[in-house]
Amino acid sequence: MWMRRLVSQLDDVTELLEALGRMLIVIDAKLESGAVESWKGEGPAPVFFRSRDTDKSEFDKAVGKTMTIEVSRARDGSHSGLLRNITMPDGKMISLCPQNC
């Protein structure tokens, strides 16, 4: 199975969306060079996060704050992918595997 992982320290979670029953996080990732790339991370339905003692309000509070995510990058090389792991601004870790991997 081909997979390229990207681990990115994020400066800004810019938007949270729910589309077709799934969560989409739009982020600005700061690269080592100082450049900023816009990324989209797709996750499972919001009900999935409730089973991890997390709800949308925690993500709403993260907008504009730094968090760390790991995504499986899209095969087409675009700045999007499936969310694998999330570390919230308060340090809480959320694993989305194996459901979203």
Average pLDDT over residues 62-83: 84
CB 16 within 8 A of CB 23: yes
Q: In this structure, what token pair is assigned to residue 84?
A: 């694998």
pTM, 2 dp: 0.76
CB 47 within 8 A of CB 53: no
Reference 25, options 95, 86, 101; nearest CA is: 86
Was domain 5-95 assigned CATH 2.40.50.140? yes
pLDDT tens figures, 16-72? 767 667 888 888 887 788 888 888 888 888 888 888 888 878 888 888 888 888 888
